[in-house]
Chain A
């Protein structure tokens, strides 16, 4: 007798981008059968009318073990997250992995080691506009090397947050990631609205290293100002030349980050023609309040760790970007207290399915699921995940194609952490993290060490 069988659901085969009505049996945390047979099970879940898909793999998160962020991720169907993005991560990955394995976490976690905040600070670089010296670069390489040996998924860059980073240190980070055959996700740095050299410099580093480059939250970087299409052209051309380059994006154009970062530097605000009235506090006592100069000054100088959302970009560009065959879904979700944050933390995947599959019909159901599962699993070489096949980990999400919808809103318009509708079951390594639409507060996620 198997542990669980999901009966009569539309089971997605992401390898062929097809689906069929079948039963999925789970035992000891693994998928053991997908067929028309209904194996005897301790629990039978009627999946008729539901899509049965591999659990979603979010390649761009900042969950880093945060409990509430994990809950919100699970509720939108994410069963694996890649943390430590944008150059912000723990540095002692050995200790971090051990700690996470000990305490347990709701979903599976891979973790990057971050350059632009974490390693630079660790080697004593206080000025975000300063280049690392040769000695500091060597010291960062040693940190990265130790983290990669401990099983980090790659090296993340957040160059917007350390705009002074030198080409030599970027090269060094690309080289060490490539040496281990791991990914180099980058939040690119744009000095002007149309700064396509932000892409070229990373393509140059990737070409020299021979490694894999992942362009993070692409729409946040390039939407608006007519830059997205030329930026996509640059990536298209690079791929046509054989470059190993990929991109991820969420379903929003309005990006968020900490008030104290270089992104909200006054000069950057001027360079990018950003307006205070287009910004809204996402965390802290001013959550949901639109900024004016006074509030900007207050947040920037007194509450630099609070997040600000900047209304920006053109929504149609999301669809254009995510339709690219090399584009995969991500959230950019982070650690927020209840009632705070950006709707990406709770609404990204249901919004993707609602808008791009059901309402606009820009992607077929199976192709959309592929962009949330197998494509990210392949990008990060995550074994045993991203596919529904016997022998694979029992990470599953069941959703109602016709009812799935995001309820999370921008914090000045509603609840940013409102859970979605239409995702009644989420299973992580054979354990229900969401059951009947209710979060189960489980800890069946494992750490993914390379």
Chain B
């Protein structure tokens, strides 16, 4: 049975880039990986499949009702299999069971077995953890969640509300959730996020510094393992993939209530301002 891991987080936090690079890293280690995206841009798999065309499965499902997912899963040079679901028709219905439906079809249509999948990575787009968004977790489809956040307040706010939704969905059961801090701009920001993680009782799986190789590989439409396999960035991502193989101990999550989160973000903002003013003073003194 393939392990299902979903990547969640605010748009722009880099979760698709992270998911594709980690998927590639797992494939390089010999694992059979399927990456599933559900963004209307079909961008969850673009670094892996390059120019190769891909048809969004849910859009065809809504049109034809009967689809064979084997026709929608495409192999890529990276070794990672890719599947794009597409989104809802704008303004019509909701994601609802789109993901859980496809997940069940992967089993009933024999895709998981025929590809001998070890991992199915879901890159789930969306920022408001509504019922449909959280259903795959509540219905027990996912075995693990990874929330990706960068150092922006908006991204942290989204991460916190996703945590709240997971906590509500999982009920009394502790659900394995980890955080990936991506592109945090400076040490202080990383410290703030580490402090958040401690208070919210969420493990940080990885803290990924900005690296030029990753940015350039993304701009080239590839993963860092294609463009700079010997870079430190690639090595770090390989190590994160190793950590992904380790089982995680679910903790009792303690996301911030909204008021507390807002107060905490204000404090962070003030500390950030103070740091910058001090830096400016130092620069003035230096001048």
List A residues at the B interface (Cβ < 8 Å): 166-168, 190-198, 200-201, 203-204, 206-208, 227, 230, 233, 238, 243, 271
Contacts and interface: CB of A to CB of B under 8 A. Distances in A.
B108 A194 contact: no
A315 to B, nearest CB: 23
Contacts of A238: 65
B98 interface: yes
Given A194-B93, A195-B94, A204 B104 contact: no
Contact of A192 (B105, B108, B131): B131
Interface residues of B, number: 18
Nearest to A129: B139
B4 interface: no
Contacts of B61: 200, 204
A196 B131 CA distance: 14
A153 B218 CA distance: 59
Interface in B118-137: 130-132, 135
A203 B65 contact: yes
A165 to B, nearest CB: 11
Q: List the 9 closest A-B pairs by CB distance, nearest first.
A: A196-B93, A195-B96, A204-B65, A194-B94, A203-B65, A207-B65, A192-B131, A197-B97, A207-B66
Contact of A166 (B65, B104, B130, B135): B104
A206 B66 CA distance: 9
Interface of B: 61-62, 65-66, 92-94, 96-98, 101, 104-105, 108, 130-132, 135
**Dominant secondary structure at the B interface:** helix
A196 B93 CA distance: 6
Contacts of A201: 97, 101
Nearest to A203: B65
A167 B65 CA distance: 13
B183 to A, nearest CB: 33
Nearest to A131: B104
B85 to A, nearest CB: 12
A194 B96 contact: yes
Nearest to B100: A191
Contacts of B94: 192-196
B96 A192 contact: yes
26 contacts: A166-B108, A167-B101, A167-B104, A167-B105, A168-B108, A190-B96, A191-B96, A192-B94, A192-B96, A194-B94, A194-B96, A195-B93, A195-B132, A196-B93, A196-B94, A196-B96, A197-B96, A197-B101, A198-B96, A198-B97, A203-B65, A204-B65, A207-B65, A230-B92, A233-B92, A238-B65
A191 B97 contact: yes
B126 to A, nearest CB: 13
A167 B104 CA distance: 8
Contact of B130 (A192, A196, A206, A243): A192
Contacts of A190: 96
A194 B130 CA distance: 12
